[in-house]
Amino acid sequence: MNAPPPGSPSSLPLNPPSRPWYERLNVINVTLLIFLLAVVFSGASIQGSDRDLNVWQNLTNFLREFLPPDFSVLPRTIEALIETIEIAVLSTFCSIIISLLIGLGAAQTLAPPWLVVTMRMLLNLIRTIPSLIWAVIAVVALGATAHAGVAALTLYSVGYLGKFFSEAFESVDINVARSLRGIGADPLQAFQFGIWPHAKPLIWSHSIWMLEYNIRSASIIGYVGAGGLGLQLHAYQEFQQWDRFATVLLCILSVVTLLDFLGEWIRRRIANHNRNAPVSIAE
């Protein structure tokens, strides 16, 4: 009888060849292992107060102060809420304009290496400083007004949007822009038609996320005098008026939730490229 040809079922070994253990050490598995080790060491080294506290009782007593919310401050809260939204909208707009320019300079596929390094260093520097510290700097420079809030959040947002925008530009296939240059387009035209249409959905998606984030941040920066709801929150906290504090929190929660749903819906539509599909909430 003839031997079965190679590759036929009867010539296959019973078990598939197994890989040695060290071949499983890819980037994902190694970083996951390092992270788990870091969790174990961090848990062991962080110490509590060692005092005998009734945590649950303390928390319940504190939360009881919040209820029921005092809605008599609602008109004043809504006024401050509108100022908070105005600060967030204006600072997001300013940061989008600045970030587009910085993002172009920080994109490896579009800018020369020296400019990329300079812009990335600048973005890292901006991101190092938290929003509250930017607010303190802005209040020192511009006084305790809403203008300071706009300046602080603009600078803070540029640190993130600049990075996101540069990544959006880098994710675009540069060959389309090159082919347009090949048929005679100038650099501006190659960008307008070869890069911008592909980067635009990502850039808009990041901008909406930043607006959501800035509304949350604009509620906090008032703590140091940069306008908006934070000023009210700070006052109620100082005088321990937690029922009024709760009213402000409820207002922030409702706006943030609304914006979260709206942002999610817009981002999903952008991701699905359903530009021509009729606008439908049910999607």
Partner 1 sequence: MEVRGLGFRRGDRWLFRNLDFDLQIGDFVALVGPSGVGKTTLLSCLCGLAEPSEGTVRIQLPAEPGARPPAELRRHFGIVFQSLQLIQKASLLTNVLCGRLGALNGLRTLVGFPSHHRREAYALLHDLGVAADPEKWVCEMSGGEQQRVAIARALFQKPVIYFADEPVSSLDSYYAGRVLGRLQLEASLGNKAVFCVLHNSSHIERFANLALSLDPQDPTACRVRRLSARTEISPRP
What is the Cα–Cα distance from 120 to 123, expressed in whole angstroms?
A: 5
Task: Please give the full DSSP string across 4-51, using - where no structure is assigned.
Answer: PPTTSGGGS-SSPPPPPGGGG--HHHHHHHHHHHHHHHHHHH------
Is 38 or 277 the residue whose CB approaches partner 1 more closely? 277
Size, binding site for partner 1 by CB under 8 A: 22
**Under rule CB under 8 A, residue 276 binds partner 1:** yes
278 makes contact with partner 1 (CB under 8 A): no
Do 63 and 249 contact (CB within 8 A), yes or no? Answer: no
Q: For partner 1, give the closer residue by CB, 49 or 276.
A: 276
**Residue 9 or residue 278: which is nearer to partner 1 going by CB?**
278
104 binds partner 1 (CB under 8 A): no
Q: What span, in angstroms and rounded, lies between the C-alpha atoms of 207 and 91?
A: 11
Who's near 53: CB < 8 A, 6+ residues apart? none
**Taking the complex as a whole, how short is the minimal distance between the CB of residue 197 and partner 1, in angstroms?**
4
SS3 138: helix
End-to-end CA distance of the chain: 65
**66, two tokens:** 């919040």
Query: What is the x/- site pattern for partner 1, positions 188-217, by CB under 8 A?
Result: xx--xxx--xx-xx----------------
Using rule CB under 8 A, residue 97 touches partner 1:
no
Provide the mask over 155-194, with x wherever binding to partner 1 is found by CB under 8 A and - wherever it is not.
Answer: --------------------xx--xx-xxxxxxxx--xxx
Interface residues toward partner 1, by CB under 8 A = 175-176, 179-180, 182-189, 192-194, 197-198, 200-201, 273, 275-276
